[in-house]
Amino acid sequence: MSGLRYAHDHLQAEWQRLQDQWALTLERWRDVVCQRFEREYWQEYERTILPALQQMEHLDEVIAQARREVK
């Protein structure tokens, strides 16, 4: 497993863990501060993490292809 693949898998697992924890948090925390946090931070995470994971997958594929072509 490449270092990039390991980083991707680790980020994906931690993102899932964070999403699960956020869902639990929302069961008890619903006020103006929560809404502000969600708007100013959480939504940004959602917009950036998945594209980052996709780009990491793509980059890993490109690197793997380049390694095959060099051999």
Q: What is the pLDDT of residues 5-14, one digit of tens each?
A: 999 999 999 9
Q: What does pTM read for this prediction?
A: 0.83
Give me 63's structure tokens. 């690197």
Residue-level pLDDT at 59: 96
* pLDDT (tens digit per residue) in 23-65: 999 999 999 999 999 999 999 999 999 999 999 999 999 999 9
d(CA 24, CA 27): 5
**Residue type at 35 in one-letter notation:** Q
CB atoms within 10 A of CB 24: 10
Which residue, among 61, 45, 46, 51, has the nearest Cα to 5 in the 3D structure?
61
